[in-house]
Amino acid sequence: MKDIVYRTTIKGFPLIKFQTKDIIEKTVGGSFYMNSLRYYRELYEKTGDEFIGDPCEGKIFISERLGAQLSIPEKEIYNQDLKDVALSTPSENDFVFCMFAINPNNFDDFKFFEEQCEKIISAYDTALIIKDVYEYCKRIKLGAEKQNIEINSDFVKYYDEYIDALDLFLSLQNGIEKVVFYKRKKYSVQKEYRFTSPNPQNDLYLKFDIGDISDISVQLPSKDLLNAIISKRVE
């Protein structure tokens, strides 16, 4: 029996959503559902899950190894040692919609590794591939504008909390909202692309409609995609 080969031409870069079939169908129908980053911290606290859950989402983890100290004179805090602490940020409860993405600037052929496959298949039976990333982002932006919702997007950057965290903290002082696009290096296998939105009301989720996307997407069983090799298009 021959393997089935899926050939999908993608405009932009590979952008994939793994979920249950019922949620994927709602997504294709136009539902754009964003969780608060708090959801992922609480998921870790309740279940210990570190595949999706993350106790440091929206925060900056400072390792004791860095030997850093914190001083806040206004609160009479002076030279307090930072020992494996996740520093809070104003954006720690922002909304996010996360997708698996492959950065076009640093890949040739890509194949999912075994641990990824096992964990994804155990939770999500369906994969949604976006065939036209530019059009998809356009529809998200238009749907958000109709509801006066601010939307930003970018690839997640992964930092080494034992080396880079202090520099990251300092670099974000004039743009702390960008912290939503940073995660610890241990989560780099997620290869996330995120759509984000501010959450000043500290709500649990945000939902709006972007219209049917069946014309720019394709569904297939997660197990089939996870066994595939994603290659750059050959002209």
Residues in the chain: 235
pLDDT digits (tens, 9 = 90+) for 143-193: 999 999 999 999 999 988 776 666 676 677 667 788 899 998 888 888 899
| pLDDT bracket for residue 83 (50, 70, 90) | low
C-alpha count within 13 angstroms, C-beta hemisphere, residue 45: 9
- Tokens representing 134? 């530019």
User: What pLDDT is stored for residue 1 in this prediction?
Assistant: 29
Question: What's the maximum distance between 2 C-alpha atoms anywhere in the chain?
Answer: 72
pLDDT digits (tens, 9 = 90+) for 39-57: 999 999 999 888 889 999 9
C-alpha count within 13 angstroms, C-beta hemisphere, residue 92: 15
Domain ranges of the chain: 15-57+90-230
